[in-house]
Chain A
């Protein structure tokens, strides 16, 4: 079974600074997808960024980017120019290419300090 590990239960960042959230995963599959979801206080989770394992290029979405290291099974999220609205729980997720199931890590609570 696949596992997803987020080793940082909580993190904080100063507004306008950069922060990196860590995620590692364990799988024997070669084709899969990785995700970062954000859950603000409103509780509704939204997709931040998605990475296809077969793509070597790291995904980026505006201020959000990932560092995907396939051999190391590492998938970190970098948030640049942090804003107050970035404060939320962030969940890393894994899904095999042939699977309906998305496995999540335990989450990292990010606080943004004004």
Chain B
């Protein structure tokens, strides 16, 4: 069974901490994505990567960075966590290709910043 695995289901951090959210996929997908999900706002794209060491900004990249050193792993980094970054974070992956490709999602990380 194909999988996108997010390292934590729930995470509680303090304001100002550096936070790492990890995502691993076992499908040899080229594309990986980080979305943020908030009630009433739906899913918004933070960053995506279409190849190792490649990254592109999505709609809301401010306050975030990403790292993709290996094809199967895509990390989201909050350099200095703030309370407005409390949210559900969803990782996804897809095959090489644009537009038509189906996204495979992880189960999400609910991050609370206190």
A interface residue numbers (CB < 8 A to B): 6, 9, 31-33, 35, 37, 42-47, 50, 52, 91, 95-107
Residue of A at shortest CB range from B48? A100
Residue of B at shortest CB range from A95? B99
Contact assessment for B107 and A100 in the assembled complex, using a CB-CB cutoff below 8 Å? no
Contact assessment for B40 and A102 in the assembled complex, using a CB-CB cutoff below 8 Å? no
Contact assessment for A95 and B100 in the assembled complex, using a CB-CB cutoff below 8 Å? yes
What is the 8 Å Cβ interface bit string for chain B, positions 89-114, against chain A (1 contact, 0 not)? Answer: 01010000011101101111000000
- Alpha-carbon separation in the docked complex, A6 to B40 (Å): 11
Contact assessment for A97 and B98 in the assembled complex, using a CB-CB cutoff below 8 Å? yes
Main DSSP-derived SS at the A contact region? loop
Q: Among B44, B88, B100, B108, point to the contact of A33 (Cβ < 8 A).
A: B100
Sample 7 A-B pairs with CB under 8 A, ordered by A number. Answer: A9-B40, A44-B108, A45-B105, A47-B103, A50-B100, A95-B99, A101-B45
For residue B75, CB closer than 8 A to chain A, the reply is no
For residue B25, CB closer than 8 A to chain A, the reply is no
Contact assessment for B108 and A43 in the assembled complex, using a CB-CB cutoff below 8 Å? yes
* A32, A45, A96 interface centre (most CB from chain B within 10 Å): A45
Residue of A at shortest CB range from B35? A104
**Assuming the A-B contacts A91-B42, A105-B42, are A50 and B31 also in contact, with contact meaning beta carbons closer than 8 angstroms in the complex?**
no
Q: Which residues of B contact A95 (CB under 8 A)?
A: 98-100
